[in-house]
Amino acid sequence: MRSRLALAAALRTVITSIVMKLIDFFAQRLPEASSGTGNRRSNANLAFDSARRAMVERQIRARDVRSPRVLEAMASVPRHLFVSPEYAAEAYSDSPLPIGFGQTISQPYMVAAMADALSLEGHEKVLEIGAGSGYQAAVLSLLAREVIAVESQPALAVAARELLLRLGYQNIRIESGDGTEGWTLDSPNAAPYDAILVTAGAPSIPPPLVAQLSEGGRLVIPVGPSAQQDLVRLVKHDGRTTRESLFACRFVPLVGRYGWPAGAQMQGPNRG
């Protein structure tokens, strides 16, 4: 019994240390306040702004994502603050990037295309499964009324919550748990959701997510085997769903009760 208690205490210490390091790391990525220069910004920030505008034009608009609201959101969220310093120069490249714990921040086009597929108008309550660094949630928060994002890795959840708070995103909640079960833990009124977005590949569509979808709600999720999935959109009408395959994709595994078992490996790099 004593050995178990000692082990539990040691694990808590390690987890706390990791969380604090992640918080410190993400906090360091915030723009430094200018000293006595008013609206003047550093050359680095200007370069990031330019790279972000180019990303929207070349990677997103050029691939037929035409929603003005989605394009504006992608142009507004500073992706370089959601990656580690060693990847900051690649933040606006056309690829996913590592964020730790075997997870990644998704390719910008994928973030935009998935947000576009939800057809958000601004009044919706959105559930995101796979918060990751918080980047996708930040984009969704500019398109919807409220975003609840669930992350299976507690350390990532804490770091994303702290970063989003520091960046001033007020309509996002980051929770830690098994996203394949959706989210109803804090209140029976949490569900239903007007839209649900899953940013990891599932072997099949988790039934709890369909159950927590509102009438007329949209669920966008990558579904299929490890080598390749289809990005699927479900729309719920009269208690039934219609299913549409949007395009092929590859994501990291959605792990949980209604997903892949822990330790599952996929070839796909995309995630939240």
Active site residue ranges? 106
User: Which amino acid is it at 41?
Assistant: R
Measured N-to-C along each axis, helices 154-167 and 2-28 cross at an angle, to the nearest 10 degrees, of: 30
Q: Are strands 103-105 and 97-100 parallel, antiparallel or unpaired?
A: antiparallel
8 Å CB contact between 139 and 74: yes
Is the alpha carbon torsion for 193, 197, 202, 205 positive or negative?
Answer: positive
DSSP string over 56-111: IIIIIGGGT---HHHHHHHHHS-GGGGS-GGGGGGTTSSS-EEEETTEEEPPHHHH
Helix ranges restricted to H, the chain: 2-28, 43-55, 68-76, 108-117, 135-141, 154-167, 207-211
Tokens in use for 160? Answer: 């994303």
Helices 68-76 and 108-117, interaxial angle, to 10°?
Answer: 140
